[in-house]
Amino acid sequence: MRKITYAEAIREALIEEMRRDPSVILYGEDVANFGGIFRVSAGLKDMFGDERVFDSPISENALVGGGVGAALTGLRPVVELQFADFLFTAGDEVVLKAGMWRYGHGGAYAIPLVVRCPSGATGVGPEHGQCPEAFFMHAPGLKIVSPSNPADAKGLLKSAIRDNNPVLYFEHKLLYATRGEVPEGEDVLVPLGKAAIAREGDDLTLVAISAMVPKALKAAKRLAAEGHSVEVIDPRSLVPFDRETIIESVKKTGKIVVAEESYKTLGVGAEIGAMLMEQALEYLDRPLRRVAIPDVPIPTAAVLEAFVLPNEEKIYQACRELLA
């Protein structure tokens, strides 16, 4: 076990999977010569050559469409979009082709495609700063992962590359420099569809997505100092979604807060709320609380961005209100 950054964990996963399987290729805008806009793929072109690591034109629809074609013909493409927001530019290929073609052709072929999606608000405004996971949870046929720490970043990416279905891999930009312990070994995988209990507790369930997990853990630590035991759950995978872990936690605590860096209306928290209404209503003794972005575009100005984004304090206050 050693400590590396989130970005290093992603790069390590790419290297190991490309060494293991010659059908894995990596491409995108500035991925090869520059090493990616966030430098995650630096040096990979020198390691694997320009037939397996290469730059693309500025056309997200063509990038993902090419990935669908490559996957259909036996490759395992990893396509990097510079920002997760650009999934909307590639919407036809992501939703109607990658997501639906396997079903539409009776399962005659697999589409082992990974689309890497750097997400999160970092002062870059509404077209480069979204976390649009919830949008694509609504699209059948896609798998969706959103790691919150280096170990999961590596293990989930390796599992995604080996999966025979299209996977949207959301990597939060503010997590790239964070450090954490990552197991050694090329076959240390994190399964898609299994949540992690980041902190155990008995008084309240706190579900946090991606970069909200570190903030949720800090809020839980503050609440522990006040005598409250908060269980923090990191879903890790949004499709498939580990409903059982959340329901079992709510059976124990009777209260739940969901924290996510996406829009409140029809977000992940809304889906969790509907799930609990259908499957666990009798266990809730307080209404669910959601900490999310109000239904406004993400501002560019730092002071306005900070105003709309979820943070540790907002999570803490939502939990305190339920625990009161």
Contact 306, 209 (CB under 8 A): no
Q: Give CA–CA dist 48/114, Å, rounded.
A: 18
Q: Give CA–CA dist 240/263, Å, rounded.
A: 21
Tokens representing 322? 């339920």
From the candidates 128, 138, 172, 228, which is the catalytic residue? 128
Instruction: Give residue for tokens 């498939």.
Output: 240
Q: Give CA–CA dist 86/314, Å, rounded.
A: 29
Q: Give CA–CA dist 254/248, Å, rounded.
A: 10
Task: Please indicate whether residue 172 is annotated as part of the active site.
Answer: no
Tokens representing 262? 């996406």
Known catalytic residues are: 128
